[in-house]
Amino acid sequence: MIFFPCITARDIWNEEGQEDTDGEGEKMMNSFKEQKRVIPALQVLLAVFMMVSYAFPYGKYVYKKGAYHMSALDYLFGKNIAGGSVDIEPQRLFTLFIIAAILFTAAAGIHRFKSEKAAGIMTMTGGAVAAAVPIIFMYNFNTVMGGAKKTGVLYGPYITMFFGVLALVLGFYILYRCKTLNVLDIMVIPGLIYLIINNYIPMSGIVIAFKSLNYSQGAFNSPWCGLENFEFLFQNKDIWNIIRNTIGYNVVFIILNNLFGIAVGIMLSEAVSKVFQRVSQTLILLPQIISWVIVAYMVYGLFSTNTGWINNTLLPLFGYDGPNIAFYGTRKYWPFILTFVAVWKGLGYNSIIYLSSIIGIDRNLYEAAYIDGCSKLKQIRHITLPLLKPTVIILVIMALGHIMNSNFGLFYQTTQNSGALYPVTQTLDVYVYRSIMETQNLSMGAAAAALQSIVGFCLIMIANTAIRKFDSDNALF
C-alpha cells in the first residue's frame, strides 16, 4: 500500500502569512508536483491491471470428466459450452468493467491537467463499480451458468474486487488531500458498505414481484407476469380486514409508544438519584432485548387456559369461580393484550430516545423559568414538550414508513398461531408467511413486500411535505 504526505497551505506558509525562507516550502512544493505525476500513473496502472484481471478464470464447469475455465471476457461476449448443450448468454453486467477502466484512465488525465477533486470522485466511482460487479456476478453465478454441471467460482472475481478496493482507497486519498473528505469520513465507510450490501443490493429482488418465479431459471430469467401476483394478493376475501389490522395496530402503536416514551423520558430526567435513574433505565430497556419467542412463552404463562397465572391465581383471588377463560380462543381480549405487550417491549427504546433529547436541552431555560415562578408542570409544558417536537416529528415520520409492516413475533408467536384469533391478529406479514408456507409462492410474498415499501415511501413523502409546508424547520428533508 502506498501512502503520500498530505500537503496543505499551512505547510508552505507560516502563521504570519510569510513565505517560508528555509527551503521547506520549496521542498514540499516539489513533493506536491511529484504526486501530480505519481497518482495519474497509479490510476493508469489500476486500469491496466483491472483489464488484465478480466482474463483470469472467473468460473469453472465440468464436461466429460474435464474441467474448463471461463474468464470475464467469456461472460461478456457469451459462449457455448458443454459440447453445445449449454449456452451462456452475453452478460451486460460486465460492460461496467470497461466503464470502470475508462473512468480510471480519464481520472488520470483530469488529475494531471485539470481538477483533482473530479479525478478523486471518478476514481472512487470506478473502484465502487469494480468492487460491486464481482459481488453481483457471484450472487447470480448459478443462474448465469444455467445447466452446466459442477460449476464453481474461481479467483478472478476476487482479484478484480481487490483492485476495486485499491481504487476506492486511492480515490479517498485524493479527495482527502484536496480537503473534500477528512479522516472522520472513514468512520462512515463500514456503515455505508453494510447499507449497500444489506439494503440496496437486495432491492434488485423486487423484480420477483412481477415474475412467475421458476427456480430452475432463477429470479432474473423467469418469465414476466405483470401484476398477476398483486391480483392474487387482493383476491383473498379477508385482505381488507388484514390491511385494517395492520394499519390500525400501527396507528395505535405510534401514538402510545410516543406518549409513554415522552412520559417515561421526562420522569427519568427528573430523577434526583443517578443510581435510581440508571437502574430504572436498565429495567425499562430489558424487555427490548428479550427475544419474541421468550415473550410469547411469558404471555402464554399468563393467559393459558389450564395453567395460566390469570386463570389459576388472579381471578380466584378476586372471587371468580366460573370456568377458566379460553384467552387463546376469544378474540375480544387480544387487541388489548397485543397493544400492552407491544408498548411494554418498546417502552425502553422510546423513552431513552426522548431522554437523550431532554438531556440536550439547555438547563439555563429551566433555571430562568424557575426564577420566574414556573412550576415543574409549567416547565414541562412550555419548555420540554415544545423542544421535543423535532424528535417526535422524526420518529413519527419514520414510523409511518413502516405502517404497512407488522412485527411477526408479536402477531404470530405471541398468539401461538391460534386460528380462532385470525380476524383480530392476522396482519399482512403473517398472511404472506402463511400463504408462502401453504403455496410456496415466493412471488406473492415479493408482491406484498413491494406493496408495503411503496405505501410506506408515499406516506413518508406526504407527511414530510405537509410538515415542510407548515413548519419547514422540523421537516425531515
Q: What DSSP string runs through 393-430?
A: HHHHHHHHTTTT---HIIIIITTTT-GGGHHHH--HHH
State the pLDDT at residue 295: 93
DSSP-derived secondary structure for 297-331: HHHHHHH-TTT-HIIIIIHHHTT--SPPP-GGG-G
**Short-list 165, 130, 121, CA closest to 50:** 130
**C-alpha span between 324 and 321 (Å, rounded):** 9
The length of the chain in residues reads 477
> Could you give all domains of the chain from N- to C-terminal order, each with its CATH number?
9-181 (1.20.140), 228-470 (1.10.3720.10)
DSSP-derived secondary structure for 185-230: GGGHHHHHHHHIIIIIGGGGGGGGGGB---TTT-TTTSPB-TTHHH
Q: Which helix (H) or strand (E) holds 66?
A: strand 66-71
pTM of the entire structure?
0.69
DSSP-derived secondary structure for 43-60: HHHHHHHHHHHTTSEEEE
State the pLDDT at residue 17: 45
Enumerate the β-bridge partners of residue 66.
63
- Asked if 443 and 212 touch (Cβ cutoff 8 Å), the reply is yes
Cell of residue 394, nine digits: 422524526
Q: What is the mean pLDDT of each run of 10 residues along the chain (477 residues)?
A: 40 44 52 65 84 86 81 82 75 82 82 76 87 84 77 88 89 83 78 83 84 78 84 80 92 94 91 86 89 93 90 85 85 94 92 91 90 89 91 90 90 89 90 80 83 88 87 79
The single residue listed with the C-alpha cell 448459478 is 142
CB half-sphere exposure, 126, CA atoms < 13 A: 29
Q: Which helix (H) or strand (E) holds 436?
A: helix 428-439
State the pLDDT at residue 123: 87
State the pLDDT at residue 265: 92
State the pLDDT at residue 21: 46
State the pLDDT at residue 441: 77
Q: Which amino acid is at 242?
A: I
State the pLDDT at residue 5: 41
**Short-list 319, 322, 326, 334, CA closest to 304:** 326
State the pLDDT at residue 303: 92
